[in-house]
Amino acid sequence: MGASHTIDIAVNQLGYRSQDLKLAVMRGGSGSFRLVDMASGGTVWQGETGVAERDAASGETVSRADFSAWQQPGVYRIESGDGSVSCPFVISDEVYVDAHAALLKAFYFFRCGMELEERYAGPWKHGACHSSPAIVYGDEEKRVDAYGGWHDAGDYGKYVGPGAKAVADLLLAEELYPEAFARPLLIPETDGDMPDVLHECRYELEWMLRMQDGETGGVYHKLTTLVFPPGDTMPEEDTAELYVSPISATATGCFAAVMAMAARRYIAYDGHFAETCLSASKRAWSWLEGNPDAPGFRNPPEIATGEYGDPIDADERYWAAAELYRTTGEAAYHQAFQALVDQVEAQGLFELGWSNMSGYGSLAYIRTEREKSPELASRLREGWLGRAEELAAVSEKDGYGISLLPKHYIWGSNMLVLNNAMLLLLADRLSGSALYERHALAHVHYLFGMNVVGMSYVTGFGNNAIRYPHHRPSEGDGVDEPVPGLVSGGPNAGLHDDYAKQHLAGRAPAASFADVMESYSTNEVTIYWNSPAVFVMSHFVQ
């Protein structure tokens, strides 16, 4: 256990589909390489790497080995002319299926308020947790019975904004890649033809519904204890008093948006639930209309858990208006959306993060079958494709083929990796082409080990996968292996925790990572890092 180091030959440790572009990244100068069959020990392919170039993000000189022409299924490794050896990997058209399932099953492991039974959770079982009513901060007499939902991250807080991003990613994946979810998960709920991904999203959506204030329609920002518990605390052992933080415009806006999305996705399976979601969305929108100048959320003085502060709510309102219009066709929502476009454009209209939800609004409008402004729809579509082109240009120059510049290795850089891959795949769908698919695939390769530290950033997948994420259940359950299918936050040059400050100072941005529980700013996990991973992998398993 400790800080990660660079590796001489980096590969996707899961492997490659037979028809895909297959690359390995070699550290050092250019030279010869060979593809070795692990079963026979024989060389089945050999070639020369491309020209070696200095990679700013990793701080290394790297070259690429292309073995795309080899398509025979099997288990292989790459060896360089100087004797360096890669991790083993598979060539198979089914290579991503198990990882996709685990990335989705991770949401079950994030569940709050219920026992995770051994028959569903295996050795990562634990007792029910956080079931007591929560105090409304600032009104000690008022309680909210907001049980359920998903723990947000390596702690046990529950947050409406990040939860909405996570649900939106999963609902989009189910909408666009339904065949990717034909394989059932081992979770308690089964209900006819409803895909398991919708069962899982419903668990979070029902918690969100409990977070809506029945009197005003506004939505409480988050539900947490006053402070985080120690790092090895199991969920059922975290028995401190629960608090809901005050209503915020950002929480109410993204609640309105994701509930309108849910109304569309669930109508075919449960009309009553779909109507409940739409009614809640409309009440939240009414709150937004009545509170046009609501201040940005800040933690109350006594609450030291994650803030998810966001001073700008225009993007959440923009997303909500787009989804409500797509769902209902009502002109008032269309007018509200059009009125917000110019205001949101200053932030960026194509972002897919919890702090800027604009991309979901733009996508909803581009894809709606309702009447729309041809000029605005064209502007948004062309803007989306222009953003994809920018990301592709960065990917072409990056030593490991991804769309992050050195300045982008921030807290949760893997969310940017996966959000960008989402955007690229959506650009292909909007353009009717496959121009950007290979760049999106390079982001998958990066996630599973084709990176400068040579680690798979997904627990349980890859020969050298992270083992010590900042995740309290994985730390406290006594099981040797962490909960599988969790996406680590990844390299963060900001040195935001004590371990990083002591051990990672001076590292190149893409190498600023440590596989230790203590480095929460590089190795924490969250639902909204897993969710874009599910979306992206859904494309490659359909």
Q: Catalytic residues, which ones?
A: 155, 470, 515, 524
Cβ–Cβ contacts within 10 Å for residue 123, how many? 11
The three-class DSSP label of residue 9 is strand
- Read off the tokens for 190: 């089964």
Nearest CA-CA partner of 164 in 338, 313, 370: 313
Between CA 486 and CA 472 the distance in angstroms is 13
Between CA 469 and CA 447 the distance in angstroms is 15
β-bridge mates for residue 243, sequence order: 135, 224
Nearest CA-CA partner of 450 in 18, 23, 37: 23
User: Residue type for 395, please?
Assistant: S
H runs (alpha helix) in 32-123: 97-109, 118-121
- Lay out the sheet containing 60-66: strands in order across: 9-10, 23-27, 60-66, 53-55
On the 0-12 / 13-18 / 19+ scale of CB atoms within 10 A, 194 is middle
Between CA 29 and CA 36 the distance in angstroms is 21
- Read off the tokens for 31: 């030279």
Between CA 408 and CA 414 the distance in angstroms is 10
Between CA 449 and CA 455 the distance in angstroms is 5
Nearest CA-CA partner of 493 in 519, 531, 472: 519
Q: Helices then strands (H, E): number in the chain?
A: 16, 16
220 backbone dihedrals φ, ψ, rounded to 5° = -65, 145
465 backbone dihedrals φ, ψ, rounded to 5° = -85, 155
- Read off the tokens for 366: 């581009």
Cβ–Cβ contacts within 10 Å for residue 82, how many? 12
Contact residues for 378 (Cβ-Cβ < 8 A; gap 6+): none
> Using alpha carbons only, what angle is made at residue 20 by residues 18 and 24, rounded to the nearest 5 degrees?
100
The three-class DSSP label of residue 432 is coil
Q: At what angle do helices 413-431 and 527-541 cross, to 10 degrees?
A: 40
Between CA 363 and CA 365 the distance in angstroms is 5
β-bridge mates for residue 158, sequence order: 223
Cα radius of gyration rounded to whole Å, the chain:
23
